[in-house]
Structure 1
Amino acid sequence: MNASKTRHRTERGARSKNGCQTCISKKVKCDEQRPHCRRCIRLQLQCEWTTQPPSLSARRRGFGPIKSRESWAPRTIQPRARDQLEHIVSDEPSQVEETSDSVIEPPNPGPGHFPEVMFNTWPTSTEAVDNPINQINTGVTFVPDIQMPITPQFPLPVLTLPNFFAPSTLFTSDIEIRSPSSLGESDFRAVSFHRAVFAPLKSTQKPASSAHFLFLDLGIRNSMILDFILAVSHNELSIRLGSSQQPPPESWIHFQHGSQKLTLAINSSLHSDHVGSMLSMLYIYMFWLRVLPLNYQKLRGLSLFVCSYVKSFDLDGLCASSSSLLDTTLLSRILTYLYDRDGFCAFFGCGGAFASYVSQNQEKRKTIWQLSRSVFTSSRGLPTSFTMSGTSDPPDSHILTLYFELISIHHDINRYSQAVEAQTVHWLRRIKRNLAQAQEDFIFVWSLLADCKMNQRVPPLMALVAVTFFHAIQIYLFRSRDSYFGQLPISSEIQRTLNELIATAYQTVAAGPVQLLERFQWSLLIAGVETHDPVHLDWIFGILSDPILKAILKHVKRRQAIYPVSMDEIRKVVDTMNHEHP
């Protein structure tokens, strides 16, 4: 093309960014004369202007320094009535949409919910940001309407607990905190977070059927339980926001208050609140298992204490022999959770006393498990079930039974990996038999996943979690004693199991939220220490949300670059992290 015929655009000045909306919509220059620009006057157009937003510095100052305002006073924090706190744990579940690990979406407003500002996870202008401990003291002293503990409905023996150590040294933290037990604005946000986010993510069921949903309901009537729930909730909220690797001051404060109440309750000659004590110990497990690094001394002592407590009061025998009363059903569920948490600790070598005691009697263990899944009535008089949603469908309940059997097998491998050489043959034969029996008895779970894949349907989340856990247990058994994780050459059987583990884990992540499902997170750890594929490893690090397990995986992979790592080495890594942490 001839250069003389090339057309050039004539610039008539920069486009206006602060002009009227009429000129901006037409993408023409505006002279920015208010209230009517010349172009709108000339063309007889309606000249519209938007409100000028304040500058960033003005917004940070609150539209001007305090000294320049005519009058200013902080908003008075009005004490909230107890019924407002109960509304947080109403039986109508909130609709929580999962977006990412770092963003918390407020629940859709419903009957009895706090306004959206109550779910805001950032400090308001009335909270002392410079001193987080003050946030929990700006409230009204919490005095529950029901001062007495939950009274069991079955006869209990009056026994004296063995004094092999002082309970206060086990429960309390190393931080001395002396402040009144009160509920502040941050506590109401923690309760809202527990109900709307934490409880639903800890279960594959509907929120109203979640065990932690019911535990919060119990906490409203028992200040000791509520203190431990708040200690865990504050810490979980901090982890989710990425605020700190250590529990915030609010967690330590409530943990200290709950520990003092639990110590007094246990040492009381009239102690009979076993539901409250066991539930408090469960939340103590949940608290210490999220504090980096793992505190071996606390977790070992807690495991021994729980085992001694249950044996002294024969709580497992009471649950296995009593009828399906409210307290025995609830206590059975708590004992099942304690069995799960203590067995999880045994993997790291810092627990397992209580889980080993329960595993001695398989029939009693199964009876307690079956009782824990019974339908019972909550304190609000509404039916609450610990089974999966759609309990009329037998396969759903069987999936949970498979999951529980795998938890038992997992603890057996913990004991096998740390047993003396003379006992290994017996343990190995028993574990292999139980694994084969579990896959044979619940083969329909694998068939269900295959059918869903063929028909392009989303499988049940619990089925995916159970199968992922199963494959991880297979690798754990193979590497638990005389083998190294990722040892080359990898046998075809282990490679096939690893591929199935990662493929099923990928499906699980796509099917639902898994951030707080500990057994699934543990399965990712096993896949991470076994794989050599950098793509798979990057994906695992991106999905692994448990701070303890992620830190362990990082340490193990650094060591694997130098020398092979066995199961004993992994436990030494955890112990080294405990000593190296400041």
Structure 2
Amino acid sequence: MPLHDSAQIAKAGKRRSKGGRSRLGCLTCRAKHVKCDERLPVCRRCERLRLDCSPHWTQDHGTRSSLRILPPQTLQPKRRIVAHELGPALQDNHIQRSDDDLQWTIFDELSGDTVSTLFLGNTDSVSGTMPQWEHPETPAQTTATFLRGEEAMSCIATQSSSQPLPTINRLALPSTELLVHGGPDGLILGHEEFGALRHYQDEFCKVHTSKTLAWSFPVLLLEKASHSSLTIRCAVAVSLQDLDMRRRANGFPPSGATEVMHQPARTVDHIEALATFYFQYVYLTHRPTINKAELLNLSGAVVRYLQASSIVEALTRPASASATAMSPSLRSFLSRLLLWVYREDVYATGYGCSGKVARYFSERPKLIRRMGVISRPMYQLNWGTRYPTEQRLDDVFCAQHLDMLVRLIELESEITEFGWSTMGSDSTRTSTANSPHIEEKMSRIELDFSATFQMITMPDDNYPTSVSSLVQGVAVFVTIYYAWKLTYHRIAGMPEDKIQDVLSLLMQAVQHTIPKIQLKDLQRALLVAVMETRNPIHKEWIMSKLEPRWKAILSSTLDRDTRRGRRTTIWTLHECASDINGNW
């Protein structure tokens, strides 16, 4: 059950001394027209009768519009004509730029040059101002007031406490209706787009999270951001892109539907803005060829947004020292969302685009770790009473794994920067000052999370079936760690016997991750392993687990580097992937 500010909870917890029905009773008692005994977290009546108690704050007070499936005869959505069909002049006329409205990205794989250029070109207006949430009583046509910094944070926190975000019922995709705030006319999806949302929940999430899909963060993100038609469009875009990549891998032609029409955003809150940044990273880093300039511009846009809104400092400030009444659920959710944006930026630095967000957080290590602590109860606070007990127990056991993930992201950022600094210059391998610092960080991780590493080294028969999923989750983090340690040992010129020792530990951990092998971080770990292993059986097994795109890049890069007489590294693989001409 979502938690709200302490004043509201205290008010809801008091019993009325006067007669009549409780004004703030639970929705279950209201429906029966009986008095509600408001003892949190559930009322006494619902507890006694074993009813599903729905607190009054879960009622959605906003205006919600339906997202409808078009009838079969009109399933195909209207398609924007791309640049090569009408020429650049007509295409520019289609995109009306406005100083009052923020024009966000056009996700269009068919006209790759226009992807995100509009959004990235308008980031100054995002970074310089922080728009206020539209008040429920304010007409949709009213121009939003623009606020700055702490004032905007106060406004957003106040609105989030008094007006809970609408939900979409955990993406009940088998139904024919999806509730979303999308303006006076709502947001209409065609059959293919609606199927993309189903793919988002059933398949796309597997690449980005090791948690149970129904309760994973990508699904929760879509629910929390369901008030934004922009966010729904972005989710549809990245899901359609993923579907097209799978079609190409299987020899089928692309759908030609990975485009989302631009959406002017009159109001922007932190959830919508950060979710859009996250989907931008996912879209740009999963294209057939990586455009480093676009990633660099996006990274700069996020940093300007963080600096203008001061959201990191506001989230990590102690609640008692904050003048804003932000609910614990919102605070925890925004902290986790920022961590995901940070992780995507670090992932993008592997393509050599020098992530500015990664550098921003590397200068604030205490803040990023504080955000990890704040985001620990994120699932319990936001899923509320719907959250299953077994998932709550998993979160308790996996709390230290979240701390380990934050440390791994920091380590990945430093090793990536160190690796790119050694590219093309053998003389810097032994003179780089970062080496002792990175080695100290790795030693601290192994010491602080020694129990986590020991779980992987124990025999399988020591684990009951009930904890097998926990071991799989642990193995994911351990595998990622050893992959980066192996990467560092190689670029730092460590002895070959040390490299092979780390490789054996990596292979020991990865055998527990088979059900989660499609995770993109594990895919990159497999790339590191296949380049270092000398065992042909291991190499064949790893190649069978790689996704088609990386398999093609790896085969091409290995052939090229063999002809040139040089060793293939993770950096040369990313260099090939970022080749804008697709020469791999």
TM-score by length of 2: 0.61
Q: Tell me if the contact between 1:239 and 1:245 (Cα under 8 Å) persists in the aligned partners.
A: no
| 2:348 alignment counterpart | 345
In 2, Cα distance between equivalents of 1:244 and 1:273: 41
In 1, Cα distance between equivalents of 2:353 and 2:395: 40
Name the CA shift for 1:536/1:332 in 2 (closer, same or farther; >3 Å).
Answer: same
Residue deviations 1:143-174 (CA, integer Å, cap 9, x gap) = xxx9979999x984469xxxxxxxxxxxxxxx
Letter in 2 for 1:279: A
One of 276, 279, 299 as aligned partner of 1:283: 279
Name the CA shift for 1:539/1:247 in 2 (closer, same or farther; >3 Å).
Answer: same
For the residue of structure 1 that corresponds to 2:203, the secondary structure is helix
| 1:249 alignment counterpart | 256
- The answer to whether structure 1 residue 559 and structure 2 residue 566 are counterparts is no
CA shift, 1:480, in A, is: 2.9
Residue deviations 1:488-542 (CA, integer Å, cap 9, x gap) = xx71111122122223223311xx2331x22111101111222243332222221
Letter in 1 for 2:558: K
| 1:417 alignment counterpart | 419
- The answer to whether structure 1 residue 190 and structure 2 residue 196 are counterparts is yes
| 1:306 alignment counterpart | 302
Q: Tell me if the contact between 1:377 and 1:383 (Cα under 8 Å) persists in the aligned partners.
A: no
For the residue of structure 2 that corresponds to 1:182, the secondary structure is coil
For the residue of structure 1 that corresponds to 2:189, the secondary structure is strand
| 1:403 alignment counterpart | 405
One of 457, 466, 475 as aligned partner of 1:464: 475
One of 493, 500, 508 as aligned partner of 1:495: 500
Residue deviations 1:55-111 (CA, integer Å, cap 9, x gap) = xxxxxxxxxxxxxxxxxxxxxxxxxxxxxxxxxxxxxxxxxxxxxxxxxxxxxxxxx
CA shift, 1:471, in A, is: 1.3
Q: Tell me if the contact between 2:222 and 2:232 (Cα under 8 Å) persists in the aligned partners.
A: yes
In 1, Cα distance between equivalents of 2:409 and 2:442: 11
In 1, Cα distance between equivalents of 2:482 and 2:408: 10
One of 484, 488, 496 as aligned partner of 1:477: 488
Give the root-mean-square deviation of aligned CA atoms. Answer: 3.9
CA shift, 1:315, in A, is: 1.5
Letter in 1 for 2:241: N
In 2, Cα distance between equivalents of 1:579 and 1:293: 7
One of 444, 453, 467 as aligned partner of 1:437: 444
- Which is bigger in relative contact order (C-alpha 8 A, separation at least 6)? 2
For the residue of structure 2 that corresponds to 1:342, the secondary structure is helix
| 2:433 alignment counterpart | 426
Name the CA shift for 1:285/1:566 in 2 (closer, same or farther; >3 Å).
Answer: same
Name the CA shift for 1:540/1:422 in 2 (closer, same or farther; >3 Å).
Answer: closer
| 2:576 alignment counterpart | 573
| 2:513 alignment counterpart | 508
Q: Which sections of structure 2, spanning at least 5 residues, go unmatched?
A: 1-70, 81-135, 154-185, 320-326, 423-427
Q: Tell me if the contact between 1:238 and 1:247 (Cα under 8 Å) persists in the aligned partners.
A: yes
CA shift, 1:543, in A, is: 0.6
Name the CA shift for 1:574/1:187 in 2 (closer, same or farther; >3 Å).
Answer: closer
In 2, Cα distance between equivalents of 1:444 and 1:150: 51
Letter in 2 for 1:502: M
| 2:524 alignment counterpart | 522
In 1, Cα distance between equivalents of 2:390 and 2:297: 32
For the residue of structure 2 that corresponds to 1:561, the secondary structure is helix
For the residue of structure 2 that corresponds to 1:368, the secondary structure is helix
CA shift, 1:234, in A, is: 1.5
Structure number with bigger Rg: 1
Q: Which sections of structure 1, spanning at least 5 residues, go unmatched?
A: 1-123, 135-145, 160-179, 266-270, 484-489
For the residue of structure 2 that corresponds to 1:408, the secondary structure is helix
For the residue of structure 2 that corresponds to 1:214, the secondary structure is helix
Letter in 1 for 2:188: S
Deviates more, 1:277-286 or 1:343-352: 343-352
For the residue of structure 1 that corresponds to 2:226, the secondary structure is helix
Q: Tell me if the contact between 1:374 and 1:385 (Cα under 8 Å) persists in the aligned partners.
A: no
Letter in 1 for 2:524: W
For the residue of structure 1 that corresponds to 2:517, the secondary structure is coil
Name the CA shift for 1:479/1:392 in 2 (closer, same or farther; >3 Å).
Answer: closer
Name the CA shift for 1:479/1:449 in 2 (closer, same or farther; >3 Å).
Answer: closer
| 2:457 alignment counterpart | 450
The aligned runs of 1:139-158 (5 Å cut-off) are: 156-157=150-151
Q: Tell me if the contact between 1:541 and 1:550 (Cα under 8 Å) persists in the aligned partners.
A: yes
Letter in 2 for 1:461: Q
CA shift, 1:452, in A, is: 4.6
CA shift, 1:425, in A, is: 4.1
Aligned residues: 406
Q: Tell me if the contact between 2:332 and 2:374 (Cα under 8 Å) persists in the aligned partners.
A: yes
Q: Tell me if the contact between 2:533 and 2:539 (Cα under 8 Å) persists in the aligned partners.
A: yes
One of 208, 231, 241 as aligned partner of 1:235: 241
One of 325, 329, 332 as aligned partner of 1:329: 332
In 2, Cα distance between equivalents of 1:480 and 1:387: 42
| 2:222 alignment counterpart | 216
In 1, Cα distance between equivalents of 2:372 and 2:382: 22
Q: Tell me if the contact between 1:405 and 1:438 (Cα under 8 Å) persists in the aligned partners.
A: yes
Q: Tell me if the contact between 2:225 and 2:271 (Cα under 8 Å) persists in the aligned partners.
A: no
Identity percentage of aligned residues: 20
| 1:70 alignment counterpart | none
Q: Tell me if the contact between 1:210 and 1:386 (Cα under 8 Å) persists in the aligned partners.
A: no
In 1, Cα distance between equivalents of 2:218 and 2:511: 27
CA shift, 1:245, in A, is: 9.0
In 2, Cα distance between equivalents of 1:193 and 1:150: 34
CA shift, 1:387, in A, is: 12
| 2:64 alignment counterpart | none
Q: Tell me if the contact between 1:342 and 1:355 (Cα under 8 Å) persists in the aligned partners.
A: yes
In 1, Cα distance between equivalents of 2:312 and 2:432: 30
Q: Tell me if the contact between 2:561 and 2:567 (Cα under 8 Å) persists in the aligned partners.
A: yes
Q: Tell me if the contact between 1:247 and 1:291 (Cα under 8 Å) persists in the aligned partners.
A: no
TM-score by length of 1: 0.61
